Structure 1
Amino acid sequence: MADEKNNPNNKKGQINIELDEKIAEGTYSNLAIINHSVSEFVVDFVSIMPGTPKSKVKSRIILTPQHAKRLLKALGENVTRFEKAHGEIKDYEQPPIPLNFGPTGQA
């Protein structure tokens, strides 16, 4: 591990974040399912393809409530900047998607 104190590229207070090739490819998602508890927000990213009756969660991100709020703010700011540069994003009406997570409980 490199000595961070002697690294001239590491300015005080900056974090060096690495992005490996597999993660850099990204994962396509056209549905996000969000649940929360007192201590965390869980965001499941799903890719639903037309004509396919079954889909899998492709990625799950777990956030603290504070980070969820920061993400909401950052997404809002980015959408605003995008729309200023490219015009309004149209929100097309989507038919409701019946979701079935795992086995159905029985009484």
Structure 2
Amino acid sequence: MKTGGFLNPIAMADKPEKQQQKQINIELDEQTAEGIYSNLAIINHSVSEFVVDFISMMPGRPKAKVKSRIVLTPQHAKKFLKALGENVQRFEQAHGPIKDYEQPPIPINFGPTGEA
């Protein structure tokens, strides 16, 4: 799997040693490595943060559940958008365009415990 992080280690290799950032070791436990399936994301924001709720919706079920919530600063949200766009572009270059489809509008109602 090819990845591109916010720190962009590929671009860092071109910088002189004094300007390079220290290496960061990232741990990934087994449960997190399995990932969480999501087929819907809802994004909200305030002046200080972006909140992304990843949701799993099953066909024919009237109820869906937020599986993960990620909170980002506006700066990291912008970097994430750029990194995701670059990865989608690389994917499409390798595998062809991703087909988009229209979904019928479904009213979404957060319960009392789903407030940000």
**Residue of structure 1 equivalent to 2:64:** 55
**Residue of structure 2 equivalent to 1:83:** 92
Cα RMSD over matched residues? 1.0
Calculate the TM-score normalised by the size of structure 1.
0.83
What pairs up with 1:13-52 in 2 under 5 angstroms?
13-52=22-61
Instruction: Give the Cα separation in 1 of the matches to 2:48 and 2:72.
Output: 9
Residue of structure 1 aligned with 2:76, choices 45, 52, 67: 67
> Are 1:98 and 2:107 matched, yes or no?
yes
Structure 1 unaligned regions, length at least 5: 1-11
Structure 2 unaligned regions, length at least 5: 1-20
SS of alignment partner, residue 43 of structure 1:
strand
Q: Structure 1 runs of 4+ off > 6 angstroms?
A: none
Instruction: Give the Cα separation in 1 of the matches to 2:34 and 2:91.
Output: 22
Instruction: Give the Cα separation in 2 of the matches to 1:96 and 1:78.
Output: 28
Instruction: Give the Cα separation in 2 of the matches to 1:56 and 1:88.
Output: 30
Flag the structure with larger Rg: 1
Amino acid at match of 2:83: A
Aligned residues: 92
Report Cα offsets for 1:1-44 as digits up to 9, x if no partner: xxxxxxxxxxx710000000000000000000000000000000
